[in-house]
């Protein structure tokens, strides 16, 4: 695991800052809606509207989970701007499961044990929200995945890991630890204080990818946390509190961000371990390059009225996406021509010179195979933010969504036997 000690610096990516883009995207979409403006709901009114409940996924068992892939995210778009990037969350997908679940929860707890409160801490005024979040997570997991999680007299049985979790009060360990062991998600909890502004009151974030130690963030207002985030001052600062006030528990949202890496570390990917002026090692194999998708959701809890921001990483190798129309072209376009502040923020300048020749070869390959034409205009795909081969209307079963690239590779291996 990469040592995060050298990672303090302005070039680093605090994952909570993605919340800024999520909120801004939502505001832009609202402003452009043809339905007109709606009255702002009070937080009291918002709390009366209960969040939706998930539909049981009866087919997903611990055995099937070992080969289970969830929705294939492809959050690549051009022109690169912040509209059209937020979606109403189907509550069934709030806490998605996949074949990497055990690896995630084990590595997350290993990080927490090694780093203490650096990535897992809460304040007294966040305790009620943490407990409500834990209750919400337990209810969701046992309802959505009845063959994976089962409620018991003392708490919950995790049929994937084999843990029998005792959730009786007084808790035997910090509730945030239970959350880390139950889900792939990092959670950030924000609450309104008496001054009417929202503050970070709890977080369990062992998988930020870049670096977001919470010790110097706890209790801080969002303006303080995000003063270095690109375009925050110009585009969102004034609207942030107003947007939080009108958010309802029944209206969770989701989106995804992404950056490029060549490893699968949860705490800190190698691209953010590079110092000023350093670039990706020349001997890095192209086969190692991944797109790390940061899949995020935002929802309000009805009792505490806390805002919950969740994030978990999904790694897709560029190799597995090489035959998906325009994916190499889109990656190249954004890496080279995205907004200057975003290029630096995501660390693209540290890998572009090494990566572009590889992307050029993949683009030419798609042209040679007839997947795309050389003069095709580059624009966001109709399937955005998912892969072209993903059918959102397909019944979600325990079989999951397997990339045709892997199906083809498996068929070729079987043909050689």
Q: What are phi and psi of 183, to 5 degrees?
A: -130, 165
Q: Can you give the pLDDT at residue 2? A: 37
pLDDT digits (tens, 9 = 90+) for 274-299: 888 889 988 999 999 999 999 999 99
Mean pLDDT rounded to a whole number for the chain: 84
Question: For residue 109, which of 182, 214, 164 has the smallest C-alpha distance?
Answer: 182
Q: Cα separation of 310 and 294, whole Å?
A: 10
**Burial classification of residue 411, based on how many CB atoms lie within 10 Å of its CB (0-12 exposed, 13-18 middle, 19 or more buried):** exposed
Residue with tokens 């060549």: 262
The CA–CA distances, whole Å, from 416 to 320, 348, 411, 412 equal 21, 39, 9, 6
pLDDT digits (tens, 9 = 90+) for 21-41: 555 555 545 544 433 333 333
pLDDT band at 208 (very low <50, low <70, confident <90, very high): confident
Which of the 8 DSSP states describes residue 386? Answer: B
Q: Assign 76 to helix, strand or coil.
A: coil
Residue with tokens 């509730």: 175
Q: Cα separation of 266 and 312, whole Å?
A: 9
Q: In this model, does residue 47 exceed pLDDT 60?
A: no
**Burial classification of residue 350, based on how many CB atoms lie within 10 Å of its CB (0-12 exposed, 13-18 middle, 19 or more buried):** buried
Helix and strand numbers (H, E) in the chain are 14, 10
Q: Cα separation of 364 and 355, whole Å?
A: 15
Residues 6+ apart with CB under 8 A from 360: 332
Q: Can you give the pLDDT at residue 38? A: 36
Residues 6+ apart with CB under 8 A from 228: 10
pLDDT digits (tens, 9 = 90+) for 380-416: 999 999 999 998 887 777 778 888 888 776 666 666 6
Q: Cα separation of 264 and 258, whole Å?
A: 14
pLDDT band at 227 (very low <50, low <70, confident <90, very high): low
pLDDT digits (tens, 9 = 90+) for 54-103: 999 999 999 999 999 999 999 999 987 644 467 899 999 999 999 999 99
Longest CA–CA separation in the chain, Å: 69
Lowest mean pLDDT among 39-43, 214-218, 257-261: 39-43
Residues 6+ apart with CB under 8 A from 78: 330, 333, 334, 378, 379, 380
Q: Cα separation of 339 and 112, whole Å?
A: 35
pLDDT above 70 covers what percent of the chain? 81
More confident residue, 342 or 374: 374
Q: Give the sheet arrangement for strand 164-166, strand by strand.
A: 149-151, 155-158, 164-166
Q: Cα separation of 198 and 83, whole Å?
A: 24
More confident residue, 259 or 37: 259
Alpha helices in 126-171 (DSSP H): 127-144
Q: Cα separation of 339 and 178, whole Å?
A: 39
The CA–CA distances, whole Å, from 325 to 73, 111, 330, 387 equal 14, 38, 9, 9
Q: In this model, does residue 339 exceed pLDDT 90?
A: no
Q: Residue 258: beta bridge partners?
A: 293
Q: Can you give the pLDDT at residue 162? A: 98
Evaluate whether 335 touches 348 at the Cβ level (below 8 Å). yes
């Amino acid at each position: 695991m990469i040592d995060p000690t050298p990672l303090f610096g302005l070039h680093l990516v605090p994952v909570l800052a993605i919340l800024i883009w999520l909120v801004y995207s939502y505001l832009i979409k609202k402003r452009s809606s043809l339905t007109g403006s709606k009255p702002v709901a009070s937080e009291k009114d918002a709390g009366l509207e209960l969040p939706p409940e998930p539909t049981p996924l009866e087919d997903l068992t611990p055995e099937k989970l070992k080969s289970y892939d969830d929705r294939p995210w492809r959050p690549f778009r051009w022109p690169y701007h912040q509209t059209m990037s937020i979606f109403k969350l189907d509550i069934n997908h709030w806490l998605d499961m996949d074949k990497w679940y055990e690896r995630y929860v084990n590595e997350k707890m290993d990080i927490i044990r090694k780093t203490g409160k650096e990535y897992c801490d809460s304040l007294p005024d966040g305790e009620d929200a943490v407990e409500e979040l834990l209750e919400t997570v337990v209810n969701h997991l046992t309802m959505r995945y009845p063959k994976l999680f089962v409620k018991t007299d003392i708490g919950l049985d995790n049929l994937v890991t084999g843990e029998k979790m005792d959730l009786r009060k007084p808790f035997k360990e910090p509730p945030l630890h239970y959350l880390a062991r139950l889900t792939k998600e990092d959670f950030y909890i924000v609450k309104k204080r008496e001054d009417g502004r929202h503050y970070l009151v709890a977080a369990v974030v062992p998988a930020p990818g870049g670096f977001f130690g919470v010790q110097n963030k706890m209790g801080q207002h969002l303006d303080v946390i995000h003063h270095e985030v690109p375009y925050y001052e110009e585009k969102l600062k004034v609207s942030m509190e107003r947007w939080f006030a009108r958010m309802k528990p029944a209206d969770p949202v989701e989106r995804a961000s992404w950056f490029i890496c060549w490893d699968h570390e949860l705490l800190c990917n190698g691209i953010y371990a590079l110092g000023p002026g350093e670039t990706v090692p020349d001997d890095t194999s192209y086969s190692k390059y991944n797109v790390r998708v940061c899949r995020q959701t935002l929802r309000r809890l009805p009792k505490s009225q806390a805002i919950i921001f969740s994030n978990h990483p999904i790694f897709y190798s560029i190799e597995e996406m090489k035959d998906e129309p325009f994916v190499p072209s889109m990656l190249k376009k954004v890496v080279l021509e995205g907004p200057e502040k975003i290029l630096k923020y995501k660390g693209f300048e540290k890998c572009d010179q090494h990566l572009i020749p590889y992307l050029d070869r993949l683009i030419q390959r798609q042209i040679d195979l007839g997947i795309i034409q050389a003069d095709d205009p580059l624009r966001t795909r109709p399937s955005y933010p998912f892969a072209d081969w993903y059918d959102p209307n397909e019944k979600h079963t325990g079989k999951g969504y397997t990339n045709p690239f892997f199906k083809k590779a498996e068929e070729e291996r079987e043909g050689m036997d």
